């Protein structure tokens, strides 16, 4: 069996995390921001899996299950907030929701 | 018994703590119950402790009680600790007793006022601070009370702060007394530096051991303490604040500016009497200041129109008597006059308050008149107070206390004919201005209709004080009258030394009492003729060129205000104006400019956009991780 080196898996996780972060920062559509967040979460989950595999312990997989559950909750709350936001300002542009500027 | 000593100041403090934050939301009745009740319970406790104290005499002339340790730095250990002896007990009885009746009066007097509970919060704080002042067993705690009463005096003079004139009067009182307080603070530093303690009793013992009579250091220390006393007690040359302090509500004038706070200077000198006996020169200064003040203030009182200002100058004058007594070593006479003065002057202020309310806030005596028929109870109590102030012979307390001072100003070994003459002139002036006030206010034609009669609480307070003004004097009757009674001086001897009389002068006591008693009666007779029989002649006398000049000087308190304005206030204001943009100001301007700049820069980063914040978070995390990796 060919094993993937841990460093490759971590590199992939890092790239995914940065892609997700870019999505959060660059995209203005709030749905895509949520997608970016989701990618970041999964990138960290991947890093956990890789680390768990590297040390030969189940902790990484358990953490991934936690992250999955958290991501599901985050999406449901996040989408409810998006609905409310759209209801109020009639756009999905996150930059329009800047009422709290100093 | 003395275990409960701490409760006496703690109860009014509790009243303040409740009323200050919650006052405006409490119903007025409850505010009044808290404000008056705490002082009342304190008064009852004081009476109970006094009974125990009398029971313990003469084996236990003093108690001390440490409640808490306040601070301990290097060699300085200061406790929240109380000392109880005959002098303290007398002060406490007056503060809580007279204070309670004034509070009772105020509950009705101030009933319509918007700041009702604020008033009682300040009054309770004042009673607490004043009790701390007299009960302190070390000079630092005494100084805490000293500044505390000064603060309350400021707050209560400016109680009706909407009128800028009241605020000005409050600031004036605060600043002028601060001059004296600074001298006193320097005196405390000197005493601690030289004698290494601030415990009053230890200090007195060490002073006696370390210093000889008439040496330089005790003289300086006593002079500095005298500075504080002169400021607080409104004596020359710091007396200018007291007449203006009448801007406060009348119960405040009765409690703070007549009965208690202004006599703190008398208490301070009596409490540190050992130091003063080590400095005979300063004792002479005290006597001369007292004598000069009592005469000058007497002339000023004679020309005032405002009934409260008459009483204010009269208070300055009567405290002058106490200083005179202290200066000639007549300690018991000074404290006795303090007590009797607290009774009759509080009574006179309360009576004046009732009159002022009846006249719809009119203070001018020339617009009053004929109130004898309209307000009989106020008239009779006011008359009793006035008779006591004028020291009418035999029947009034004032006679026994004031004539004791006049006599001892002559008969004491430190006394003399000059001091006695000043005291006698003061007594003559006192009966002139006192009965001028009575005749203008209560006799003659009615000039303003009575708008409001004093109610039950006010009447009770006035009657009780009137009874005290009549009867308290019998505690101390001179030997020439039926063998004499010396209950008070016998009691106060447990704390203060007896007066040393010059042997050659003792025989004249009866004669001198005749003279001073006769002077008081003569004053009443003269002013009766001048005011009620020949008012035209009196007006012509005041209208003559000499009369006009004198009237102007006396009315303005001998021009002290104008003098201080010219030599102190104006140069200071001038310096402040030309020095507006100096380098220190520029430094602070720079600081404020930098603050504004930082505000503008940072507020642009708060643009409300979530993406910017997320980017900020990411960059910050990257920097932190980068630093952790690289360093």
pTM to 2 decimal places = 0.79
What pLDDT, in 10s, does the model give residues B430-475? Answer: 998 999 888 888 887 888 778 788 888 888 888 999 998 888 888 8
> What is the SS3 assignment for B362?
coil
At B127 the pLDDT is 93
The minimum CA-CA distance between A98 and chain B, rounded to whole Å, is 4
Nearest to A25 among B602, B603, B618 (CB): B618
pLDDT tens for each residue of A10-24: 999 999 999 999 999
User: Predicted ipTM?
Assistant: 0.86
In angstroms, the separation between the Cα of residue B626 and the nearest Cα of chain A is: 15
Q: Which residues of B163-192 are buried (b: 16+ CB within 10 A; e: fewer)?
A: eeebbebbebbbebbbbbbebbbbbbeebb
- The whole-number pLDDT of residue A1 equals 62
Average predicted confidence (pLDDT) for chain B: 87
Say if residues B167 and B158 touch (Cβ distance below 8 Å).
yes
- Which of B603, B608, B611 is the closest to A25 by Cβ? B611
Do B228 and B288 contact (CB within 8 A), yes or no? no
User: Helices marked H in B196-279 — which ranges?
Assistant: 200-210, 216-232, 241-244, 250-254, 264-271, 273-277
Q: Test A28 with B611 for CB contact under 8 angstroms.
A: yes
CA distance B598 to chain A (A): 14
Residue in B461, B307, B313, B310 with CA at minimum distance from that of residue B378: B461
> CA-nearest residue of chain A to B600?
A102
Structure confidence by residue, pLDDT tens digits, B314-359: 999 999 999 999 999 888 889 999 999 999 999 999 999 988 888 8
Which band of pLDDT confidence, cut at 50, 70 and 90, is reported for residue A102? low
Minimal C-alpha gap between B621 and chain A (Å): 12
Q: Which residue of B has its CA nearest to A23?
A: B611
Query: Are A102 and B610 in contact (CB < 8 Å)?
Result: no
Q: Kindly report, residue by residue over B112-144, the tens digit of the pLDDT.
A: 888 888 889 999 999 999 999 999 988 899 999
Query: Which of B606, B610, B611 is closest, CB to CB, to A102?
Result: B606
Is A94 close to B611, i.e. CB distance below 8 A?
Answer: yes
What is the C-alpha separation between B477 and B187, in angstroms, rounded?
A: 38
Helix (H) or strand (E) holding B67: strand B62-73
Tell me the mean pLDDT in the region B609-616.
88
């Amino acid at each position: 069996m060919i094993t993937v080196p841990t460093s490759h898996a971590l590199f992939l996780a890092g790239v995914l995390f940065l892609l997700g972060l870019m999505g959060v920062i660059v995209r203005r559509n709030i749905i895509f921001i949520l997608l970016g967040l989701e990618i970041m979460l999964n990138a960290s989950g991947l890093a956990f899996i890789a680390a768990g595999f590297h040390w030969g312990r189940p902790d990484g997989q358990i953490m991934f299950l936690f992250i999955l559950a958290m991501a599901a909750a985050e999406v449901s709350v996040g989408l409810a907030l998006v609905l409310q936001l759209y209801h109020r300002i009639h756009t999905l542009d996150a930059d329009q929701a800047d009422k709290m500027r100093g | 018994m003395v275990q409960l000593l701490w409760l006496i100041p703690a109860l009014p403090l509790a009243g303040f703590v409740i009323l200050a934050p919650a006052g405006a939301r409490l119903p007025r009745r409850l505010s009044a119950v808290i404000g008056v009740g705490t002082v009342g319970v304190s008064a009852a406790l004081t009476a109970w402790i006094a009974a125990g104290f009398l029971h313990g005499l003469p084996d236990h002339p003093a108690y001390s009680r440490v409640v808490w340790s306040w601070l301990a730095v290097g060699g300085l250990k200061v406790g929240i600790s109380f000392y109880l002896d005959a002098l303290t007990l007398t002060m406490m009885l007056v503060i809580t007793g007279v204070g309670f009746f004034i509070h009772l009066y105020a509950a009705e007097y101030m009933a319509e006022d918007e700041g009702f509970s604020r008033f009682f919060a300040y009054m309770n704080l004042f009673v607490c601070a004043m009790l701390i002042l007299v009960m302190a067993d070390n000079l630092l705690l005494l100084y805490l009370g000293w500044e505390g009463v000064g603060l309350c005096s400021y707050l209560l003079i400016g109680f009706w702060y909407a009128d800028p004139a009241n605020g000005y009067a409050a600031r004036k009182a605060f600043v002028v007394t601060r001059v004296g307080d600074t001298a006193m603070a320097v005196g405390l530093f000197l005493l601690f530096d030289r004698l290494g303690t601030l415990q009053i009793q230890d200090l007195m013992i060490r002073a006696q051991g370390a210093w000889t009579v008439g040496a330089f250091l005790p003289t300086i220390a006593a002079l500095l303490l005298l500075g504080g006393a002169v400021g607080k007690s409104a004596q020359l040359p710091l007396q200018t604040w007291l007449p203006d302090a009448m801007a406060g509500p009348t119960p405040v004038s009765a409690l703070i500016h007549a009965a208690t706070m202004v006599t703190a200077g008398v208490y301070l000198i009596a409490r540190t009497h050992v130091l003063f006996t080590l400095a005979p020169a300063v004792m002479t200064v005290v006597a001369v200041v007292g004598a000069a003040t009592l005469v000058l203030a007497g002339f000023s009182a004679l020309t005032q129109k405002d009934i409260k200002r008459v009483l204010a100058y009269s208070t300055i004058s009567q405290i002058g008597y106490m200083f005179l007594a202290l200066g000639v070593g007549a300690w018991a006479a000074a404290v006795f006059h303090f007590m009797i003065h607290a009774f009759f002057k509080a009574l006179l202020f309360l009576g004046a308050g009732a009159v002022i309310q009846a006249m719809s806030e009119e203070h001018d005596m020339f617009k009053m008149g004929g109130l004898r028929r309209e307000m009989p109870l106020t008239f009779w109590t006011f008359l009793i107070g006035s008779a006591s102030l004028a020291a009418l012979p035999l029947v009034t307390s004032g006679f026994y206390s004031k004539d004791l001072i006049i006599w001892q100003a002559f008969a004491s070994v430190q006394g003399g004919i000059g001091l006695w003459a000043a005291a006698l002139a003061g007594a003559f002036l006192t009966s002139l201005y006192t009965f001028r006030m009575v005749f203008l206010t209560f006799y003659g034609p009615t000039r303003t209709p009575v708008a409001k009669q004093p109610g039950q609480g006010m009447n009770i307070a006035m009657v009780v004080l009137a009874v005290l003004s009549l009867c308290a004097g019998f505690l101390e009757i001179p030997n020439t009258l039926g063998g004499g009674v010396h209950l008070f001086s016998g009691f106060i001897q447990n704390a203060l030394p007896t007066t040393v009389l010059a042997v050659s002068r003792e025989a004249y006591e009866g004669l001198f009492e005749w003279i001073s008693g006769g002077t008081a009666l003569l004053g009443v007779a003269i002013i009766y003729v001048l005011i009620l029989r020949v008012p035209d002649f009196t007006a012509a006398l005041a209208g003559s060129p000499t009369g006009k000049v004198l009237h102007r000087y006396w009315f303005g308190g001998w021009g002290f205000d104008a003098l201080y304005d010219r030599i102190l206030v104006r140069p200071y204001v001038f310096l402040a104006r030309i020095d507006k943009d100096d380098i220190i100001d520029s430094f602070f301007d720079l600081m404020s400019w930098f603050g504004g700049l930082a505000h503008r820069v940072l507020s642009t980063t708060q643009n409300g956009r979530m993406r910017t914040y997320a980017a900020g978070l990411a960059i910050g995390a990257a920097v932190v991780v980068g630093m952790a990796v690289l360093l």
